[in-house]
Amino acid sequence: MTAPSEAQIVEAVTAKLTGSQGKTVPEAELARLLATLELENDWTDVSAKRFHSVLSKNALVDSASTASTATNGGASAGAGAAGSKKKKKSKTDAGVPRSFIDANVSIPAGVRAHYFDSVKGKGLVASRSFAEGELVFTEEAYIATPPPEAFDQVSSGELCAQCFLPVSSAPVQLAIKNCGKCKVRFCTSACARTAMATHHTLLCTELNPAAKPLVQLVQSQKWQSLHCVARSLARLLSTLTPHNNGMGKQSREQDDLIAAYGDFETVHARLSSFATVSELERRSRNPGWATEKASFEGILAEAYTALCNALDPYAEPRTSAPHPDPHHVQLDLIDAVKTRKGQIKDLFTYASFLKLLGRANVNMEKFGGLYSVHSFLNHSCAPNVQIRHVPERGILASMKVAALALRPIAKDEELVISYIDPTTRLGRRQLVLYRDYCFGPCTCPKCVQELKEVGLQYDPAKNSVKTFLDSVARKSNPDPHAAAAVDPSLEEELRASLGF
C-alpha cells in the first residue's frame, strides 16, 4: 500500500472526472470518491481532511452542492421517520422484525433512507444513478464482533480486539497498546481508544471479574450472537462509566467521546432502530426445534444469567457489594435522566434478552458486525448491490464493508442485497428466509418468476405463509431424498441459524 503524493491524488481525481458531466466533485461525494480511489489504487494514509484540502487547492471541489444535498437527505430521512409513526402493527404481522429509521444515522450521499411499511420496514433508495461496479458506500461496524474462529486469537492478543486484524500487522509497532489487565491487545491507539470507550472497560475479565462466565460461555460455544449482544449492551452502558465520565478527563475530552461514540440516548436509539424479533420466534420456525428445544432453552438461561451478572447495573451481586465497582456504571448518571433507569431495567428482562439475540442474528453481517447503514438494505434473490470486505494493510478487514453496484442502478430504485445464496433452489430460499430472517414468502422478481413456472402465486387472503411454503417445497422439489443428500445436516443448520 502506498501513500500518494498531491500530484497523484489530483491525477487520479481528474481521471475520474474525465468524461463525467462536471469538472468538479460535489462535496457530499468526497468520502465515496476517496474510498473508491483507496480501493482501486491501494492507497493508505489519506485522511478525509487532506483529500479535501488537496482538491480544494486545485479547484476540484464543488462546495455549492453541499447545502442542497444535505437538505434533500434530511427531508428523505424525516419523511421516512414520519411514515414510521403512522404505521400500526397488523394482526398478521406477528413475528415480523420491527425496525425504524434513526435520524442520527449518517446516510451516504447518492442514497436516501425510506420507510416502506410496518412489514418491510426501512430501506435504501438510490437518489441518483449508479454504474455497474460503482461504489455505493463504505462503512465500519457500529458493533464490532469477531468471527467465531477468531475468538481465541483475540483473547490471546494475537488479533486486535477492535478491528480483528493481526497485531503483528500494525503500521507502527510502537503504537500497539496492551489492555494492561488482561491479555487483549490493540493494533493502534485509535483501536484502543474505541474499544475502551465502547466495550472493553465492561467486558475485560480483570477490570470486571463478573464478566468472566459470560466471556467463557461466548468462547466455549463460539456464540457470535451472544457476543454481539454483550458488546451492544456494553457500548450503551459505557456511556455511563467513569472511563467516559471523569477519571481526570477534561470537559473537552468528555465532549469528544460523546461526539465520537454518542451519549446514552443516542446509542439507545441507534441499537433500537435495528430490525428486532424475539429469538424464540426464529427458533420456533426451525424444523428441528421441537427436538432441540430443551437443551437450547437451558443454555439460553445460562447465557441470560451470565449477561445480567456481567453488565446489569442493578444485578444483586453488584448492588449488595460494600463498595461500588470503580469501573462499572455510575448510578448517579443513570438517575441524571429520568427515563434511563426504566430503559436499563427493561433491557435486562428475559424477554428483552431474547429480542437482543434475535436482533443480532437478523442483522449481523456474515463476519459478525452490526452496521448502521448496511442494516437498511432489504433482500432480493436478484440483488443489485453486493457487499465486499475492504482490505486494510493487504488483509481482508472483517469489520469494514463496501457496497458495490452489481448492475446499473437507476435513480429512485431500491438498493437490495441477497441475504442468502441466490443460486439455491426456490423452495430452499423461501424456507431459509422464513426461518432465519422471519419474512416470507419472498416475492422478488426472481421468486415470482420461479413460482409462476411451478404454477404458484402467493395470495395472503387465501394462503397462510406456512401452507404456501409447504406448497412451494413440494412443487419445487419433487425429489426430497435428493435434496436431503446435498443439504447441510440438521445439527449444522441449527447451530448456524441460532448464532452458534
Mean per-residue pLDDT for 90-95? 51
Residue 490 placed within a domain: yes
Dihedral pair phi/psi, residue 160, rounded to 5°? -60, 135
> Which is more confidently placed, 321 or 74?
321
Give the pLDDT of residue 80.
35
List Cβ neighbours of 135 (8 Å cut-off, separation of 6 or more): 32, 35, 36, 39, 402, 403, 404, 405
Q: Percent of the chain scored above 70 by pLDDT?
A: 85
Residue 171 placed within a domain: yes
Same domain? For 11 and 36 the reply is: yes
Give the pLDDT of residue 257.
87
Q: Percent of the chain scored above 90 by pLDDT?
A: 58
C-alpha cell recorded at residue 39: 480501493
* pTM for this predicted structure: 0.81
Q: 374 to each of 67, 107, 183, 404, 411, how far by Cα in Å?
A: 25, 10, 32, 12, 19
Question: Mind giving me the DSSP string for 349-415?
Answer: SHHHHHHHHHHHHHH--TTS-B-TTGGGPEE-SS-SEEEEEEEETTEEEEEEEEEEESS-B-TTPEE
Domain-ending residue, one of 63, 90, 112: 63
C-alpha cell recorded at residue 102: 434513526
Same domain? For 78 and 19 the reply is: no
Give the pLDDT of residue 74.
37
pLDDT digits (tens, 9 = 90+) for 201-257: 999 999 999 999 999 999 999 999 999 999 999 999 999 998 888 655 567 777 888
Give the pLDDT of residue 471.
92
What count of other Cβ atoms lies within 10 Å of the Cβ of residue 95?
A: 16
Side-chain half-sphere of 224: how many Cα atoms within 13 Å? 25
Same domain? For 358 and 263 the reply is: yes
Same domain? For 447 and 408 the reply is: no
pLDDT digits (tens, 9 = 90+) for 49-67: 899 999 999 999 886 654 4
List Cβ neighbours of 78 (8 Å cut-off, separation of 6 or more): 103
Beta-bridged to residue 61, according to DSSP, are 25
What count of other Cβ atoms lies within 10 Å of the Cβ of residue 492?
A: 11
Same domain? For 209 and 311 the reply is: yes
Give the pLDDT of residue 418.
96
Same domain? For 413 and 473 the reply is: no
Q: 407 to each of 384, 386, 416, 446, how far by Cα in Å?
A: 6, 10, 12, 15
- Report how many domains make up the chain: 4
Residue 1 placed within a domain: no
Give the pLDDT of residue 93.
52
Same domain? For 100 and 215 the reply is: no
As a whole number of angstroms, the distance between CA 143 and CA 372 comes to 9
Q: Sheet holding 414-417: strands in order across? A: 111-117, 121-126, 414-417, 378-379
Same domain? For 206 and 343 the reply is: yes
Q: Where residue 130 sits, what CATH number does that domain have? A: 2.170.270.10
Give the pLDDT of residue 65.
52
Q: 51 to each of 10, 18, 48, 401, how far by Cα in Å?
A: 9, 19, 5, 21
Same domain? For 331 and 232 the reply is: yes
Mean per-residue pLDDT for 177-202? 95
Residue 368 placed within a domain: no
Residue 107 placed within a domain: yes
- Residue 276 pLDDT grade (very low, low, confident, very high; cuts 50, 70, 90): very high
- In the chain, the amino acid numbered 451 is L
In this structure, is the dihedral angle defined by the CA atoms of residues 369, 374, 380 and 381, taken in order, positive or negative? negative
Same domain? For 398 and 328 the reply is: no
| pLDDT value at 483 more than 70 | no
Give the pLDDT of residue 87.
40
In terms of residue numbers, what domain contains 299? 148-363
Decide: helix, strand or coil at residue 277.
coil
The burial class, CB within 10 Å (0-12 / 13-18 / 19+), for 490 is middle
Averaged pLDDT of the chain: 85
pLDDT digits (tens, 9 = 90+) for 72-87: 333 333 333 333 334 4
- Residue 119 pLDDT grade (very low, low, confident, very high; cuts 50, 70, 90): confident
As a whole number of angstroms, the distance between CA 58 and CA 51 comes to 11
| pLDDT value at 40 more than 80 | no
Give the pLDDT of residue 294.
87
As a whole number of angstroms, the distance between CA 303 and CA 187 comes to 30
Domain-ending residue, one of 63, 81, 105: 63
Same domain? For 135 and 161 the reply is: no
Decide: helix, strand or coil at residue 108.
coil
Give the pLDDT of residue 292.
85
List Cβ neighbours of 67 (8 Å cut-off, separation of 6 or more): none
Residue 22 placed within a domain: yes
Same domain? For 135 and 206 the reply is: no
Beta-bridged to residue 122, according to DSSP, are 115
> Which is more confidently placed, 477 or 103?
103
As a whole number of angstroms, the distance between CA 447 and CA 435 comes to 17
